[in-house]
Amino acid sequence: MKLRDTTVVALCAFLGVMALLTPIPVFSGPYEGLAADEVDWTCRMPLLSLAPPDVDLDDVRARVETAHVTADSTGAAYVPPKSPHPLCGGLARTQVVLALLAFAGAAWRGTVWWRSSTDARAEKRFKRLHAGASGNQGRKRLLR
């Protein structure tokens, strides 16, 4: 499948923006003694969380234990506490690097397109210029 250069530029730019703005929630496995369904792991937007504060796992474990005790004592369903994942910073930095690579690809492909279409743009300007000049031949001028 052959895509036009402008389409590739738009796709690369779109992927770069999405990588910068969309957190990827891939934390569905256990992490250091916490089961996957015990904590609702979250991450902020990658662009804003390049150096997030450290997550205190002991505090998260204490909140999980409190939520278990509350669920057992009240008979209600277990509601997992929310916490940022300790690996969000690494994932955010990875996403920023991927976004920069996507933007570099868009810039490179845009440059290739710009250079390959230079002749077509020049020909179009030339035709437009001469179409305006040749259209005045039939009119009479007052001052010649």
Question: Residue 97 to residues 9, 10, 12, 47, 54: CA-CA distances in angstroms?
Answer: 18, 18, 13, 11, 21
Is 60 within 8 Å of 83 (Cβ atoms)?
yes
Is 87 within 8 Å of 27 (Cβ atoms)?
yes
Q: Does the pLDDT at position 144 exceed 60?
A: no
For the chain, what's the residue count? 144
The predicted pLDDT at position 134 comes to 64
Is 81 within 8 Å of 34 (Cβ atoms)?
no
Tokens 């015990």 label which residue?
Answer: 38
The predicted pLDDT at position 140 comes to 63
pLDDT in tens, 5-49: 889 999 999 999 998 888 877 677 777 878 778 888 888 888 777
pLDDT in tens, 67-110: 888 888 888 888 888 888 888 888 888 899 999 999 999 999 99
